[in-house]
Amino acid sequence: MSFREFKEQAKSAVEEALKRLNYPTVEFNISEPPEEGFGDLAANTAFILAKQLKRPPLELAQKIASEIELSRDSLIESVTADPPGYINFKLNYNLLAEKLLPNLRSSEEVKPINIGRGVKVTVEHTSVNPNKALHIGHLRNVAIGDVIYRLLKHSGYDVKVLNYIDDSGAQVADVIVGFLFCNFQPEAPPGEKFDHYCGDTVYVKVNEMYEQNPALIEKQKQVMRELEDPSSEVTHLAKKITTRILGEQLKTCWRFGARYDCLNFESHIIHSKLWERLFEELKGRGIVKFVEEGRLKGCWIVEVEGEEEGEEKVLVRADGTATYVAKDIPYAAWKLGLVEDPFLYVEYARQPDGTTLWATDLDRGCKKQDFYGAEKSIVVIDVRQSRLQRIIKSILKQIAGQSVEERYVHLGYAVVSLSPQTAKEMGFTEEERLLHMSGRKGIYLNADDVLDALKKKAIEETIKRNPGESVEWCERVSESIAVAALRFDLLKQDLDKIVVFDLNKALRLEGDTGPYILYSHVRASRILEKASAEGIKHQTPKPTITQQSEKRLLKELSKFDLVVEEAVKTLSPKTLARYAIELSTLFNNFYESAPVLSCADEEVRASRLMLVTTFKAVLGKTMELLGLPIVERM
């Protein structure tokens, strides 16, 4: 039994009363009133009816309320009509506790909701070019995509997580130029990860060299042309380098708690001729046009209406090479099953969660239907790519019809900046209010470095609080705190808001932080551990909920499935993140105002321990969906 059932019972009670009164059927809203004194739910039915019946809302509300009949097993304790005309419902907290608390004793008992009904969805996230390490901006993408996957899976969808590997684009070409033509050593210096070396040194320096030596740009173009030939030496070198970088990137993502189902390599899309076949179809349908004169002479373009930056978008350049967006079109079509699947699939790696990571291939492997032809495709990519995503969707709609509008979803998000204090701590000297990331300029903060810095700060506090624990234990707990701190900071904002990351604020044990949520879960664990050690009764068949702090916590716990459903419908990780903070705050308020272990009344004490148990279960499941590690002590 949950708050959802309470809401449904209130709605049905009003509808039945309207029938008995022979009032017209109207659409009305039931929501929580702004003040607790008015009850737990309020219906605006009388205001809607007043317009039709030309009678005062309060009079109608009184008649409806007096006509409502309550059964013994109803979650509605009472109904009143209050000025200026709301119908207010009070929740039977003891009955809710009796139904809810005995059935939620662990996070495993927090059951999934089946709103997806097995519908196949792909979620593409991360998709970092394999020429560098992930930076903190990329981690916002990883966090968002991973939580969307977790939410959809919990909600009954058949979800596959895809990671697009652009192993043949300009940024990979820059690294190849560095190794082939700029005398960069093929191995990273001792103690430096290979992905850090390629991004922080080779990629940044080569882009500086382009400005000093424009002839190098011709070398880049040469490399990009050779990357389209699967048998070229450049392609073999690129595969060797990108495979090493990708391996390091995956280690970072796994450390951050993410997992994937399939790696889709851009080189395989190119070499499979998928683009060429789709390009012919686009030409045949008149979706793309050849330009015979003007600044775009010799190019194939697509015209997209309503774009402020211009309606024309080049898909194939005059030299015959495909543009960035052109390579994305066949991939997007593949995800929705609009083209045949040309790939074989190989087992690429075993992930920390025990699942297999698959990868596309053209020469070996097996055929699989798991990753291809989804009912819905969600692409997590930052808002700077919004125009390109609109162009892709426009082309897909011309291929497959209007249904693509709902089936292809771009989930955009704003960038990540560093606070001045964090920028200074991490070695940046720019005197700016906020420091924005730029890969080409070398202005970014590698994800590994952020996690290491957070862990270093967390270890100091963990050792101080746990002097008797081993270094290894403190390391493990501090790693979890670091991941939780960074994950939550990247998830708690609206997607369209810039995240200003601050190392010290993210680690606080109070306020809206990941460590505060971990601390609340740990606090509940310690209460239950102590109760067990002292042999205190944990259960009672008739839980008693009387104090306001108990009621507030119980009501919030009963809303878990509604919160998850809202987060899924809106694709909003923030919704779940705010719920975790609200739950934690209400629990800590409850703990401070309602004695648990020291309560003299045995039945009340047992009721409160049941409430603590259910809080730990629901918060634990919420943390699991947010990808926050769980620790029993910190």
Residues 6 or more apart whose CB falls under 8 angstroms from that of 263 comprise: 162, 163, 165, 246, 348, 357, 358, 359, 360
In the prediction, which pLDDT does 283 show?
95
Sign of CA dihedral 471, 474, 479, 480: positive
In the prediction, which pLDDT does 632 show?
87
Q: Which structural domains are found in the chain, ordered by start?
A: 3-91 (3.30.1360.70), 98-114+508-626 (1.10.730.10), 418-506 (no CATH)
In the prediction, which pLDDT does 309 show?
55
21's tokens: 């009164």
In the prediction, which pLDDT does 537 show?
87
Closest to 264 in 3D by CA, of 137, 362, 351, 354: 362
* Pairwise CA distance, residues 564 & 245, whole Å: 36
Q: What is the mean pLDDT of each run of 10 residues along the chain (634 residues)?
A: 93 97 96 92 98 96 96 95 97 96 91 95 98 96 99 98 94 96 95 95 95 92 90 94 98 98 95 94 94 93 73 84 87 96 97 97 90 97 94 94 96 92 77 54 80 95 93 96 98 96 88 96 97 91 95 98 98 99 98 95 96 98 98 90
What are the DSSP E strand ranges found in 235-298? 262-265, 288-290
Concatenated DSSP letters for 54-80? Answer: TS-HHHHHHHHHHH----TT-SEEEEE
Amino acid residing at 256: F
In the prediction, which pLDDT does 434 show?
53
In the prediction, which pLDDT does 197 show?
96
C-alpha distances out from residue 577 to 105, 411, 494, 619, Å: 22, 17, 10, 11
* Pairwise CA distance, residues 413 & 493, whole Å: 10
Query: How far is the first Cα of the chain from the last one, in angstroms, to the nearest whole number?
Result: 33
Phi/psi of residue 587, nearest 5 degrees = -65, -45
Closest to 53 in 3D by CA, of 80, 24, 30, 82: 24
In the prediction, which pLDDT does 31 show?
97
Q: Name the burial class of residue 368, with classes exposed (0-12), middle (13-18) and buried (19+) by CB atoms within 10 angstroms of its CB.
A: middle
Q: Are strands 356-361 and 344-350 parallel, antiparallel or unpaired?
A: antiparallel
Nearest-Å Rg of the Cα atoms of the chain is: 29
Q: What is the pTM of this model?
A: 0.94
C-alpha distances out from residue 206 to 177, 221, 250, Å: 8, 14, 25
Residue 351, number of CB atoms within 10 A of its CB: 16
